[in-house]
Each structure stands twice: as C-alpha cells, then as structure tokens.
Structure 1
Amino acid sequence: MSYSEAQPVRISSEPAQLQALEPVLEKVRAAVGDVPTLLTLAEDIGRTAPKPGEGNTAKLWELLASVTAVDVAAGRVLEPHLDALAILAQAGVEAGADGEHEGTWGVFAAEGPGTKLEAKRTANGSYVLNGSKPWCSLAAQLDGAVITAHTEDNTRAAFAVDLKHQGVTAETPAWTSRGLQEIPSGTVHFDQVEARPVNHGNWYFQRPGFAWGGMGVAACWLGGAVAVARDYTDALTKAAANGREPDQIALASLGEIDRILATTTSHLAQAAERIDAGDLEGSDPDGPSPWPEALRIRGTVATAVERVQTLVTQNLGPGPLAFDEAYGKRMADLSLYIRQHHAMRDDAQLGALALKGDRSW
C-alpha cells in the first residue's frame, strides 16, 4: 500500500471522462505531506474547477473524492479553498476577477467556548473584525478566508478577510493528533481587521450553497472510504498471489464494502443531479429545502466510512496500522476528518425536520 496509485473516484461520469483527472491526481500524489505545494495545486485547480449548482456538481464531487482518495489531507486542503470560491461566486463576487481574491482561501465558520469574533461597522460604513475564531485550519499559510462573525444586530454574517493583514495573529496550536498532522487547526485573533461583507445579513447560512458545501465535504469522506477499500482489495490480491486465497469472511467483508460504496455513491450522484436540476435550491418556500438532503448525505457517508474502516481493520489486523505508513496515515486522517459530522445530533436535526413533514416517505 502506498501513494503510487492516482485512480479517480467515479460518482456518475463515464470512465473516459475521469481520465482527465489523472494528471492532477499524479501531482497531488507527488505532493503528499508538502502543504505549500498542495496549496499551490489547490489554487491552480480552483481556476477551472466546477462550482456546485452550475451543471457539473457531480464532477466537482468526483474531483474532491479523487483527491482525497490519493491523500485525505490533500482533500482537506482543497475542499475549503473551492468552497470559499463558490461562496464568493454565489455572493456575486468572483474570486480573482478584480485581483482582490487571488491566492488560497479557507472557510472559518466554527464557534467555540471562550472565543467570539465580532464585526462592527465603522463611521465610513465599512466593517472591522475584533476577537478570536477557533478551528482555523492553515490560517498562517492562507491568503484569505470567508469567515463568520457576530454582528451588532445579534446575528452572524460572513465576511471576506485578508489573512495577511497586520491585525491577524494565528496561534500555533498544540496539535497532538496523529490524524491530519499537516493540517493544524488553531485559534486566530483579529485586531481591527478590515473585512468585506459577503452578501448581507445571515445570507451565508440561508443560501442553498451552505447545504451543497456540506455535501461536498461528504464527497471527500467518500473518497477516503474508497481509498481504504482499495487498500483492502490490494491486500487480498497480494495475499492470493502469495498463495493465501481470501476466506469466506474476507470475501463477505469485501462484498459488504462493495454494497456500501455502491449505494453511497448512487446517493451522491442523485443529489448532484437534483442540485443541477434546481430541485434543491431552497428558494421556493413551498419547495424542498436542501438541508435535509445534506444531512442525509453526510450521515450516510459518515456511517459508510466508519463501517468500511471497521471491516478493513478487522480483516487486516494490526500489521498495516503499525508498519504501513500510507495506510496508517489514511486511517488516522480519515477518522479525524469525519468527526466534522455531528453524528446523532445531526440525526436529531434531521428527525425534527422529518417530523415536520420534510420527508419523501
């Protein structure tokens, strides 16, 4: 098991179409562990990558899944950059169109106890940020971020921020995690930092793209699960070549993995098609909201990831976890990444929506 494979992950494209991803994936493979190079690649990819809701959502998710299948941390670098570009575009501010939004971007929307970021309007009508924001991945290495802050009317709004501003201080976190070691997420402090509103009010949370972005993260998780499944099939093939054919338990586990990944991928493909068809816009108050579907997708993929990891580790045992760097890194990275899913709390939110009638059954 290694980083030598750069095989795309298919959601709905024809195999010939997926071949176009291979050169990019080879570059990602060569840059594993090299965050500056991965950020440069993310910036290059962002210039031509599809945006959700514009007709090629499945291709966007295939890109995210495929990069994450090569290396989970690489997907963790790429996804927020593409999400930030999509947010700016949805707000009518094309990144790079006026030179203001070039470089690499993140999205910082987390909240945490003991920290608060406030946005206040100045006398000339502009905004400045003061306070602290937790869970800001790679803040010291990024150029800009879409960041949420508390406003004077007791709501939260999104702002575009230059992270190179002299009033921005990124802490170096005590990142002890074995997963995503090259993607530390620390607290960033803001002192009179100029910020540009991204649309207005709580638009950031109400836009359909908020749910679409959550599904994009799930596409990354899927890519990680596919990579783990490929690790398993490679191990079975190698063992068979050495005279040890897989037993019924190994084959049953592979069959379950195949079933899980096939149904999960199909769910993503259908959601991408609905997004591009305008069925998950959420702009019609009498129409379907995109958020229940996002919760379904995220919960389904997170459950799939955990089950695939369990089946593979049960069958392969401790050996590769202890001695195979690529496999061990993938497992640790993916285990941390999927904890962005809020598990039963998200299911409770989905259950409340289903109880109100937002369901298809």
Structure 2
Amino acid sequence: MTERQDVLLTFHRDPVPVLDLVHAVLHAVPATAGPLEPLGHGLTDGVPQPGAGETMERWEVLATLGAHDLQVARAAEPHLDALAILDEAGRSDLTGPELRWGVFAAEGPGLRLTAEQHDDDTWTLSGTKPWCSLGSQLERALVTAWVDEERRGMFAVDLTDPRVTPAGTGQSWAPSGLRDIPSGSLAFDAVDARPVGDPGWYLRRDGFGWGGIGVAAVWYGGAVAVHRRMLRQAGGRALDQVGLAHLGAADACLHGARAVLAESAAAVDAGLVTGPAGRVAALRVRQVVADAVEAVLLHAAHALGPAPLVEAEHARRVADLQLYVRQHHAERDAAALGRALTEPTEATR
C-alpha cells in the first residue's frame, strides 16, 4: 500500500482517529502477508461497537479495508462481528488480545452440528459445520449449533482444541476470488463450548442486522476501489462519450449506496434500527449496496475493457468482490425483504 485512501460515508469531514491506526497497520504489514496477519498487529483495536454512537466510524473502517484489500477485510469483518456479538451478550470476558475470531453460522445439506448440555451445566458440540472460513487458522469462533430439532444456540469454542479437525465432506474450495480465505467444513467431537445468549438469541438480537450492514460496507469499499481504477483511466486519456457515461453512472450508484449506509448508521445510533425494523433495514441496505456493487462491476468491465483484467491488483479485486457480494442472495434476499414488508411492523410504509 503506497498511499492513504480513506472511504468516508459523509462529506466534508476529517478521517476518524481509528483510521490512523488502520492505515499504520496496513503500511507496516507486508503486502505478501496473509489476510490474518494485520489482525495480529492490532488492526481492529479501537474500532467502535455498533449502536454505541460511532457506528458510521465502524463502517468507514470496514469500507476502507474493503477498498484496500478485500481478503484482509474478509478476515477482519467476522472478527469484529464476533467481538460485537460477545459485547452485546455481556460475554466480553471470553475475548483476549491475542485471539482471532470467526463466526460460523451457515448450514449445509446433510451436515449438522448439535449441542449437548450435561448435568454439570457444561456444553459440548458434536458433528460437522460447513463454510468455516479460515477455520484452521483462527484461535476462536462463535458457532451456531442445534440444541433441539427446532432451535439453534450460539457457542464460543476453542478452535485449537484437538477435537476440532477438518472434515472430509467432499466440499472443495477452489475459488478464483478470495483465494487466501479457505472456507471448508470442520468436524467437532464433543468439543467444550460456552453458550452465548439463549437458544435463538443470535438471530433475535438487534446486532444481527447491524452486522449484516457492516458486511455491505465492505462490499461498498471494494466497489469504490473499482471505481477509482476507472478514474485513473480517465486521468490517463480523454474518454469518449461512452466512457464518460459509464464513469458517471458508476459514480451515481456509489453515491446512492454511500447515502444509504450513512443514513442507516445514524439510524442505528439513534435507536431506530431494532427488532423487526432492524431486520427490514438490513435487507434494504444490503439490497441497495449489492445492486450498486454489481452495477459498478458491469460499468467498469464495459468502460475499461480487457486490459485491466490482466493487472494483478485489479483482476484480484474484481474476482474477490464478485465472490464476496454473493453473500447477498440476490432475488432470494429481495423476496425476504418483500416478505418482511408484509408483516405488520413500524418499518413498513
């Protein structure tokens, strides 16, 4: 990284102090280091928790990381989310300065992780959990597991426990994007676990929607970096009418996404994005940002042509962003938003 480029969500404002630390760490860690390396240098120290008055600053950190390197952002975002979940649950006692966290909440066909409570009020996890990003490289994780046939709980687990092993489920990981973020399955063999909240709390809590918007902030930052590549082309040669149209259209898309992120950050801190309203807000923001990201990728492809796709940095960013934004489930998430709007809440209009 040769220059500092913040991604701010509001105009005419100086960068927040936490971004000073972010850039200091990014400059100190070699570009060849793995995506987890910056976490070991305190990359996320001082990042505000969501809903505590500085949510916009938190999302600016995530957006700035996304613009810098989506793989670093992909490692930092769940770590920050885990710390926020523990804080919301009143379990910050489980955190430690040298621990790097993940959040594993996905389900997969034919795979099941179950939680068993024992007579001494301890819990163990057994079974297989899919899509455990960086699972073999992290020290801790928050993992969802079935406590009965209908409910899941969240548990903190030590991933260095020898009873946690890679699972040979036949699931392969051979991506063109996020190549250094493997996301295989993990097998748990009666692994000690600490409950975080009661069953179902993970999905009910206000912070669930806030975390989802934080992911969208990373997508936004990645798209800003793609647009910057378009601007560099404009600075190097005179654009024709088509090139100018793509540049302007991409800028307008990003402006809309930025405004929605800034508005939602203010709403979170004002206590307006809680309960069912928070779920609707998260679906709305993620839809707007995902649409903007996909539009920017299309405009960049049409405006820049094939040449930048053989540039290592740009080609990697495009591949990373295309995979990362698929955490938004496209029409299925749009349908989820539509379904939520049919439910009587203060979020409908």
TM class by smaller structure: over 0.9
CA contact (8 A) 2:18 2:47 kept: no
Match of 2:111 in 1: 115
Which sections of structure 2, spanning at least 5 residues, go unmatched?
none
Match of 2:295 in 1: 307
Match of 1:208 in 2: 206
Match of 1:133 in 2: 129
Q: Deviation of residue 24 (structure 1)?
A: 2.1
Instruction: State which of 80, 83, 88 in structure 2 corresponds to 1:82.
Output: 80
Trace 1:243-262 onto structure 2 (pairs within 5 A): 245-262=238-255
Which sections of structure 1, spanning at least 5 residues, go unmatched?
283-287
Secondary structure (helix, strand or coil) at the match of 1:55 reads: coil
Match of 1:327 in 2: 314
Percent same amino acid among aligned pairs? Answer: 42
Q: Deviation of residue 34 (structure 1)?
A: 1.9
Match of 1:289 in 2: 277
Match of 2:340 in 1: 353
Q: Which amino acid aligns with 1:7?
A: Q
Instruction: Using the TM superposition, name which of 195-204 and 152-161 deviates more.
Output: 152-161
Trace 1:1-361 onto structure 2 (pairs within 5 A): 3-12=1-10, 14-18=12-16, 21-22=19-20, 24-25=22-23, 27-28=25-26, 30-35=29-34, 36-41=36-41, 44-94=42-92, 99=96, 102-152=98-148, 154-171=150-167, 174-238=172-236, 240=237, 245-282=238-275, 289-321=277-309, 323-358=310-345, 359-361=347-349
Change (3 A) 1:122 1:13: farther
CA contact (8 A) 1:67 1:223 kept: yes
2:300, 2:149 → 1: CA distance?
50
CA contact (8 A) 2:18 2:46 kept: no
Taking structure 2 as the reference length, the TM-score comes to: 0.93
CA contact (8 A) 1:8 1:18 kept: no
Please, what is the CA RMSD of the aligned residues? 1.9
Q: Deviation of residue 16 (structure 1)?
A: 2.0
2:16, 2:223 → 1: CA distance?
18
Secondary structure (helix, strand or coil) at the match of 2:142 reads: strand
Secondary structure (helix, strand or coil) at the match of 1:189 reads: strand
Change (3 A) 1:231 1:19: farther
Q: Deviation of residue 18 (structure 1)?
A: 4.1
Tell me how many residue pairs correspond in the alignment: 344
Q: Deviation of residue 22 (structure 1)?
A: 4.6
Q: Deviation of residue 33 (structure 1)?
A: 4.7
Alpha-carbon deviations, 1:262-301, whole Å to 9, x = none?
A: 111111111110110111122xxxxx52001100111111
CA contact (8 A) 1:120 1:152 kept: no
Instruction: Using the TM superposition, name which of 228-237 and 351-360 deviates more.
Output: 351-360
2:85, 2:218 → 1: CA distance?
18
Change (3 A) 1:315 1:90: same
